[in-house]
């Protein structure tokens, strides 16, 4: 994916965090359900190399359970293959955020079981259908027979979660959810080769791939203008730190003239048998991201959940520095540093 496409995808995802996903129960259709599945794959953003995990449509069935805890966080459990993802989502017009915990579990079309170690456990089974979906054409692909595509109703058992440092918790014994037979869905839509379909890069995979993007060009030597083209451009600052068990990325995206800047940060970490993905985004006035015309220097000062400032300097040759007090507070991981010599950093212009 090009850097331009990646930036657009990040902004689309950030907007998607502001409100709930389209409800499948409203005017259900097979194509709408397929789009919902694809969106789930994008939002989970699994930073794994296995295309079967990066593409939810490469597995046979998927279950999704949603609830809201007493703190107002949306809790979403998505089970596919033998993987269970528990996401804690803060939907906020100003600074949306999501942290997803991944665990190996036992998953069937009607049951979900997984342990998230000290953070909690999911043990659910599908009890009964509720509402109109059981009688809708979506249940069996039109008025004909065939396997049911969608079960919509109650999952019962238990969802127990306690976030790091007590940032939030949840406990429920029943929640509304859906179970989707993806093979039956594709048969309904007459997709003969879903398992051979090309896997699309997930959200976090896209963000992490910016570091190795083939169309990202090296900055011009100091003092040389970087905008010979008359096409509109967007300036991007991208920083990445890779450690043995974690990866942290930060991006500042300048808006068009007079428009707000967008800041994005993400972190992936392996904690024993649990994988954790954290993501935040926020908009701020354009003056919070300042840079000169040659991109020799840049300064960022984003608002909460970020803190402090970051300063980029491009010296002679390939010499670069990324310094300052910039940090970010993810859900469950406060004050994560975003500057220092462990980060590789680049500032560039990209046409759009």
Question: What is the CA 177 to chain-centroid distance, rounded?
Answer: 21
If pLDDT is split at 50, 70 and 90, which confidence band does 26 have? very low
Residues 6+ apart with CB under 8 A from 272: 117
- Asked if residue 211 is part of any domain, the answer here is no
The rounded distance, in Å, linking the Cα atoms of 115 and 164 is: 15
Q: CB under 8 Å, gap of 24 or more: what pairs does 126-135 form?
A: 126/63, 126/151, 126/153, 126/154, 126/155, 126/177, 126/179, 127/153, 127/154, 127/155, 127/156, 127/174, 128/153, 128/154, 129/153, 130/154, 130/176, 131/25, 132/25, 133/25, 133/28
Cβ atoms of 89 and 98 closer than 8 Å: yes
Same structural domain, 289 and 235: yes
- Shared domain for 148 and 235, answered yes or no, is no
Q: Token match 């008025």: residue?
A: 143
Q: Are residues 21 and 102 in the same domain?
A: yes
**From CA 251, how far away is CA 240, in angstroms rounded?**
9
Domain carrying residue 312: 217-351
More confident site: 284 or 37: 284
Residue 151 lies in a domain: yes
Q: What is the pLDDT of residue 115?
A: 97
Whether 204 is covered by a domain: the verdict is no
Q: Are residues 238 and 191 located together in one domain of the fold?
A: no
pLDDT in tens, 305-339: 999 999 999 988 788 999 999 999 999 999 999 99
Q: Is residue 268 part of a domain?
A: yes
For the chain, what is the domain count? 2
* Residue finishing a domain among 161, 196, 231: 196
What is the band of 23 on the pLDDT scale with cuts at 50, 70, 90?
very low
Long-range contacts of 92-96 (CB under 8 A, 24+ apart): 92/18, 93/18, 94/282, 94/283, 95/280, 95/281, 95/282, 95/303, 95/304, 95/305, 96/14, 96/17, 96/18, 96/280, 96/281
**Token pair in block for residue 322:** 């990324």
Pairing of strands 150-162, 169-181: antiparallel
Which residue(s) pair with 179 in the sheet? 63, 151
* Residues 35 and 149 placed together within one structural domain of the fold: yes
Would you say residue 212 lies in a domain? no
107 has pLDDT over 70 = yes
Q: Within a 10 A sphere around the Cβ of 225, how many other Cβ atoms?
A: 9
Q: Do residues 190 and 294 both lie within one domain?
A: no
Higher pLDDT: 203 or 246? It is 246
Domain check: are 188 and 227 in the same one?
no
Note whether 181 and 254 are same-domain residues. Answer: no
Last residue of a domain, one of 166, 196, 226: 196
User: Is the pTM higher than 0.85?
Assistant: no
The answer to whether residue 201 sits within a structural domain is no
- 231 and 155 in a common domain: no
Three-state DSSP state, 347: strand
Give the pLDDT confidence of 2-13 residue by residue, as tens digits: 333 433 444 444
In a domain, 230, yes or no: yes
Write the pLDDT tens digit of every residue in 179-223: 888 888 877 777 544 444 434 444 445 554 544 443 334 444 444
Whether residue 124 sits in one domain with residue 235: no
What's the CA angle centered on 157, arms 152 and 158, to 5 degrees? 110
Determine, yes or no, domain membership for 120: yes
Chain CA centroid to CA 29, Å: 25
What pLDDT does 232 receive?
64
Kindly state whether residues 146 and 235 are assigned to the same domain.
no
Q: Are residues 98 and 167 in the same domain?
A: yes
> In this predicted model, which residue has the larger pLDDT, 144 or 346?
346
User: How do beta strands 274-284 and 297-300 pair?
Assistant: unpaired
Average pLDDT score over residue span 264-270: 91
């Amino acid at each position: 994916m090009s850097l331009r496409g990646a930036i657009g995808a990040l902004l689309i995802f950030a907007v998607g965090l502001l409100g709930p996903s389209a409800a499948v129960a409203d005017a259900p259709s097979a194509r709408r359900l397929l789009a919902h599945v694809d969106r789930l794959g994008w939002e989970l953003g699994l930073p794994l190399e296995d295309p079967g995990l990066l593409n939810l449509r490469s597995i046979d069935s998927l279950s999704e359970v949603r609830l809201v805890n007493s703190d107002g966080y949306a809790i979403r459990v998505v089970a596919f293959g033998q993987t269970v993802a528990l996401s804690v989502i803060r939907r906020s017009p100003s600074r949306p955020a999501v942290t997803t915990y991944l665990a190996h579990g036992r998953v069937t079309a009607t049951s979900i079981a997984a342990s998230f170690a000290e953070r909690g456990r999911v043990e659910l089974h599908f009890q009964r259908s509720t509402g109109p979906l059981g009688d809708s054409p979506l249940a069996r692909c039109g008025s004909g027979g065939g396997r049911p595509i969608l079960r919509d109703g109650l999952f019962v058992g238990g969802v127990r979660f306690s976030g790091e440092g007590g940032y939030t918790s949840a406990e429920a014994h029943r929640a509304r959810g859906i179970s989707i037979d993806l093979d039956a869905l594709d048969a309904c839509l007459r997709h003969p080769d879903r398992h051979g379909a090309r896997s699309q890069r997930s959200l976090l995979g896209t963000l992490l791939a910016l570091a190795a993007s083939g169309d990202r060009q090296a900055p011009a030597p100091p003092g040389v203008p970087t905008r010979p083209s008359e096409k509109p451009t967007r300036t991007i600052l991208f920083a990445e730190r890779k450690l043995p068990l974690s990866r942290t990325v930060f991006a500042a995206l300048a808006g068009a003239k007079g428009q707000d800047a967008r800041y994005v940060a993400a972190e992936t970490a392996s904690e024993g048998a649990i994988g954790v993905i954290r993501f935040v985004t926020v908009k701020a006035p354009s003056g919070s991201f300042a840079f000169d015309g040659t991109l020799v220097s840049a300064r960022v000062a984003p608002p909460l959940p970020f803190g402090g400032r970051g300063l980029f300097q491009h010296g002679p040759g390939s010499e670069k520095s990324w310094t300052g007090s910039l940090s970010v507070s993810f859900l469950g991981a406060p004050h994560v540093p975003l500057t220092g010599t462990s980060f590789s950093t680049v500032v560039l212009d990209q046409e759009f």
